[in-house]
Amino acid sequence: MAYFQKRYSAIDPERFEFIPFFYSDYFSRDFFGRIPKDLLNSIGLDALLRSRNPSYIKMLEDFKKCTEDAQIVMFTGFCAIHPNFLHDECSQIVKILPAIDDPPASFERTVPYLFAMDVCTHVSLTYNNRKRMDEQLKIWGAKRVFFTPIGASIPNRLEQLRESDLKNRRTDLIYVGGMYPSKIDRITYLKEEFGDRFELYGRWSPYGLRGVIYTAMHPKKHRLFRWRVRPLAPRDLSLYYQNSKLGINMHWGNAETGNSRLYELPANGVMQICDRGAGNATGEIFEEDKEIVLYDTIEEAVDKIRFYLNHDSHRQRIARAGYNRVMRDYRQEKIYQKLFEDVVKEFSL
């Protein structure tokens, strides 16, 4: 609750009252704090509705009561309200669907809902190397589309960056993220090149050995990944970033552009080295060689990492410029303030 209040803190409180609605009030979480998978995709929701699942029906009834006087409903993370219900029972409300995992999860969490939504947002500028994400969403049926970058949240950024914050950093290179087959060779290459100078964190279950297990099972496709990777608690993310000089970033493949690292690294004074993303779109979010350093291949990334580790003043200059850009344009509360202002204007609310 407190996290979302901070996210929407810049929205005019005299104009809008923030009323939360939690799916977890109706469905118990498991041992790991996860909600049922049926709530996370349209197929699961349809099964819950068709079977008249008592908990789900109760949730829909309470949602309708909660939104009776609402002007805007925005779903955060994912939409667990069946799109047919939204279309039939909430037709007078402006409904906003933030697509936070586009394009890899678009057909699971975006496309089936578009007919019921008035606004769809996207965090990736691109769908693939040939098509922009806003163009693709309109082809699928989105009525109105807004680009809302993930941005840097209040818990995951420095509110003030001092010169000493840039200089006194112990870790040479950091990456925080999950293990994906499309990334494992690049991460293996970085570990082989930089060893302990490259600190790697993420949920690589089981027991941090997912990379070892996966590459051992596919020896013809991948070099063996030999390291155990430990998770990082969300509350510790900024602390580790604030102790790091360089942060490596990479996207899944040739599609999306704009993951959370893209904003969180510079928001903590880390100089970012990132792939160009589909259609070279990363360079549209941050200015190349001024606010971010971009690479085409992991070999090129290694060369640039070595250069900036040996030229600290250049590293600090780019890190400072990246931080300033985040604080000017990519603070989460400012992003959502602009979204609400655009929606209010669009619908004359």
pLDDT in tens, 46-98: 999 999 999 999 999 999 999 998 999 999 878 999 999 999 999 999 999 98
Please write the tens of the pLDDT for every residue from 112-133.
999 999 999 999 999 988 899 9
Q: Which residues pair with 201 in a beta bridge?
A: 176, 230
- In the chain, what are the domains? 2-151+331-347 (no CATH), 154-329 (3.40.50.2000)
Q: How many helices and strands (H and E) does the chain possess?
A: 15, 9
**Type and span of the H or E element at 122:** strand 119-122
In 10 A of CB 18, how many CB atoms? 12
Helix (H, G, I), strand (E, B) or coil at 60: helix
CA distances 62 to 23, 35, 41, 57, Å, are: 11, 18, 20, 9
**Type and span of the H or E element at 213:** helix 210-217
Helix (H, G, I), strand (E, B) or coil at 70: coil
Q: Is the pLDDT of residue 247 over 70?
A: yes
pLDDT confidence tier of residue 29, bands split at 50, 70 and 90: confident
Q: What is the DSSP letter of 34?
A: P
